[in-house]
Amino acid sequence: MVRASALGHRVCADGLPMTKKVAILQSNYVPWKGYFDLIRAVDEFIVYDEVQYTKNDWRNRNRIKTQAGAQWLTIPVRLERLEQKISETRVADSRWVARHWKAISNSYARARYFAQYAPMIEAWYREAGAFELLSDINVLFIHAVCSMLGITTKITSSRDYVLEGNRVERLVSICRQAGADVYLSGPAARDYLDEACFAEAGMRVEWMCYDGYPEYLQLFPPFEHGVSILDLLLNVGPEHAAFMKAR
């Protein structure tokens, strides 16, 4: 049982304070399974799209498995200025929806759960085609996949927070505003993240580990972990939890 203390903090039934864990990450296009494990592992996931868009990154592209190997699916976008934010980035060609769905259909037609899941995923793509902003497209897919996976984590936007300071200070500030006790970070941030800044603000940093994922029956060997979550869904369907970490 969870209740609020007189000061507004969340406490357990025994009166001890609860820990709030937060993750902050840019939106990705139909991300891989690790992205959703990170979301499931926290109390609040903050989509960090009020930062500069980066080319040749996961913001507007991801990979699927095909008979010829891993294939990139890329949403064409307009780059209108050097410091353009992810949240400001617009789609350049609406035909991407038909192209991506055709590639997915061609590659996964023989997947075990394609017939069961295809109508729902195709509906996501039809809905995504109505959006002009990349961030809106990414968030649509993130919410849709979370719903399918049974992930109930609160998902918010960096637009809901005041962004101030340098790269690390902004993260600390957002966590403070969100009432976080713990910041869960992906391992790639080890190169720049100063844990002392979080400690000074009364928070600790934990690191997501993406090692040890089990393999599943995947089309077109050899096995590849670093592909869109669609690969897992279409190949194993409702058994997806057995091949993810946080569940």
Tell me which residue range forms the domain holding 91.
16-243
Listed in sequence order, the residues at least 6 apart from 236 whose beta carbon sits closer than 8 Å to its beta carbon are 112, 113, 216, 217, 242, 243
Instruction: Tell me the mean pLDDT per 10 residues along the chain, length 247.
Output: 40 62 98 98 98 96 96 97 95 98 98 98 98 98 97 97 93 97 95 94 96 96 97 97 83
Let me know if residue 10 belongs to a domain.
no
**Does some domain include residue 8?**
no
* pTM greater than 0.85: yes
3-state secondary structure of 154: strand
Query: What per-residue confidence (pLDDT) applies to 171?
Result: 97
How many CB atoms sit inside 10 A of residue 119's CB?
A: 8
Tokens encoding 154:
């609160």
pLDDT digits (tens, 9 = 90+) for 152-189: 999 999 999 999 889 999 999 999 999 999 999 999 99
How much is the pLDDT for 5?
Answer: 35
d(CA 66, CA 72): 10
Structural domain includes residue 4: no
**Within a domain: residue 9?**
no
Domain membership of residue 3 (yes or no) is no
Angstrom distances, CA of residue 9 to CA of 25, 39, 97, 179, 198: 25, 22, 44, 9, 19
Q: Examine residue 78 and state whether it is found in any structural domain, yes or no.
A: yes
If one counts the domains in the chain, the total is 1
Identify whether 5 is part of a domain. Answer: no
At CA 79, angle to CA 78 and CA 80, rounded to 5? 105
pLDDT for position 17: 59
Q: Does residue 70 sit within a domain? A: yes
